[in-house]
Homo-oligomer: A and B are copies of this chain.
Amino acid sequence: MADALPAPSAISGTTRLYVVLGDPVAQVRAPGLLNDLFARTARDAVLVPVHVDPDGLGEVMRGLRRMRNLDGILVTVPHKIEVCRYADRLGPAADLAGSANALRRNPDGTWLADNFDGAGFVHGLRANGHDPAGTTVALAGAGGAGRAVAAALLSAGAARLWLYDPDSARRTDVLARLDARWPGRVRAGVEGDLGDAGDRVDIAVNATPLGMSPGDRLPFDPARLPPTCVVADIIMKPAETALLKAARDGGRPVVHGRHMLDSQVLLYEEFFALHAPERNGRWEP
């Protein structure tokens, strides 16, 4: 059922559209956050969830680009990497990470993709009192969000980043991409449980989907990390994953997934120019 969030403005024929794409999509929090933002800023706009599986992504993206009253697309798991193929241009963070979580229609009708996961994650980390500058980070998951978080942590001054992913081709590709930009600071973690880096890690991050479903195993065992190691998860539902619960039970500081998204709302406001005067719905291609 619908969350107990503020209802969007009444929808009419003039309402501008935004969507969030995912598979699954039931867990997404973007509709509540963005529709609340539209209501606060008195925009005649609405964001709706769109459930599309990987096989359907191409047709859905081509269809969305043809909708003349559609101004923005948010993207969640598992489409953040593939969606880049349907943008005309990549912003700096999307280009660096090779993944995107937001696309906007420009006034000239072209589509720009960028990625705010990394900036949102680092902002949330700092808001919880943890500055990544000079730290050693262990990050599990080199998918669409993981690579963006990795790039943002390095950009924020992380001294060393261990990257874990069971898909060796993907791990190698992301490692090469990050190493080109930050030479010598990234290492491939090859053992499970952050074994290589375990006793030196300041911040451990789960950027895998492990923890979204009740039966999931832990992405790594927080008990093997140093007692002061910060444990962060990017999963938003459930709010507290089994990983975070185990970390907290062991006395380690934790950072919840919601901070990554909450911190992105301001960035979306900028990206979609929601602070600017409304254009009377005239972002026509």
Contacts and interface: CB of A to CB of B under 8 A. Distances in A.
- Chain B CB count within 10 A is highest, among A1, A4, A56, for A1
Interface in A14-37: 14-15, 17, 20, 22-29, 31-32, 35
Interface string A58-81: 011111111111100000000000
Given A2-B10, A5-B10, A52 B66 contact: yes
Interface of A: 1-15, 17, 20, 22-29, 31-32, 35, 44, 46-53, 56, 59-70, 281
A13 B35 contact: no
Contact of A15 (B11, B31, B64): B31
Given A60-B66, A63-B62, A26 B5 contact: no
Given A2-B15, A7-B9, A12-B5, A60 B67 contact: yes
Contact of A61 (B8, B29, B63): B63
A17 B50 CA distance: 8
B31 A11 contact: yes
Identical chains in the assembly: 2
Interface residue SS majority, chain A? loop
A29 B14 CA distance: 10
16 contacts: A2-B10, A2-B44, A6-B10, A7-B8, A10-B31, A10-B32, A11-B35, A12-B31, A12-B32, A15-B48, A17-B49, A26-B281, A46-B48, A49-B69, A59-B59, A61-B63
Given A12-B31, A15-B31, A63-B64, 7 more contacts: A5-B12, A10-B31, A11-B31, A13-B20, A13-B25, A26-B281, A63-B66
Contacts of A13: 20, 22, 24-29, 31, 49
A47 to B, nearest CB: 7
Contacts of A25: 13, 69
Contacts of A64: 63
Contacts of A35: 10-11
A11 B10 contact: no
Given A12-B2, A26-B13, A52 B32 contact: no
A29 B12 CA distance: 7
Contacts of A5: 10, 12
Contacts of A61: 63
Contacts of A10: 2-8, 31-32, 35
B47 A11 contact: yes
Nearest to A281: B26
Nearest to A45: B2
Nearest to A31: B11
